[in-house]
């Protein structure tokens, strides 16, 4: 992931509904899981990835899929569906795709869907979607700040 830029200037018009990106391999380390399982600043030992790990895995995969997190985007809603437990110190495979694009109240919304699986067994662990207010709408170009 370190080779993916932090921010992306991908526009609304460049997004293709249904186009799958990935799967991207992501490690679920004991350190990551432990920092997201207990009180802030107090890592705890855990055997399975806590729910807070999965939005992190999604953001890492999105960054790789889109060349960065869309600069100026706003998370409007997220839904996670848990199907199984993922052990700590395992690998996950994350696939993302654009589920929908629409303009509501003159604002562009993009639904990004994702599927997180145990890389060793291909068992589905978490599915979900994030609805994002996109920084550009139909026919608009990205701002110069996002391209920097």
Query: Band of the pLDDT at 143, cuts 50, 70, 90?
Result: low
Average pLDDT value for residue range 89-96: 98
Residues 6+ apart with CB under 8 A from 127: 80, 81, 83, 113, 114, 115, 116
Q: Is 147 helix (H, G, I), strand (E, B) or coil?
A: helix
Distance (Å, whole) CA 101 – CA 139 = 13
User: Per the domain annotation, does 1 fall within a domain?
Assistant: no
Residue 147 has pLDDT above 60, yes or no: no
CATH of the domain at 67: 3.10.129.10
**Assigned domain for 75 exists:** yes
């Amino acid at each position: 992931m370190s080779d993916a830029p932090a921010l992306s200037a991908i526009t609304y018009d460049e997004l293709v509904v249904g186009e799958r990106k990935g799967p991207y391999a992501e490690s679920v380390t004991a350190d990551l899981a432990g920092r997201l399982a207990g009180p802030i600043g107090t890592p705890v030992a855990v055997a399975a990835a806590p729910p807070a790990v999965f939005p992190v895995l999604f953001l890492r995969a999105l960054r790789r899929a889109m060349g960065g997190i869309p600069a100026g985007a706003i998370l409007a809603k997220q839904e996670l569906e848990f199907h199984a437990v993922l052990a700590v110190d395992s690998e996950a495979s994350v696939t993302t795709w654009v589920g929908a694009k629409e303009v509501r109240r003159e604002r562009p919304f993009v639904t990004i869907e994702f599927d997180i699986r145990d890389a060793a067994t291909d068992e589905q662990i978490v599915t979900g979607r994030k609805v994002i207010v996109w920084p550009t709408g139909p026919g608009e170009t990205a701002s110069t700040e996002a391209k920097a």
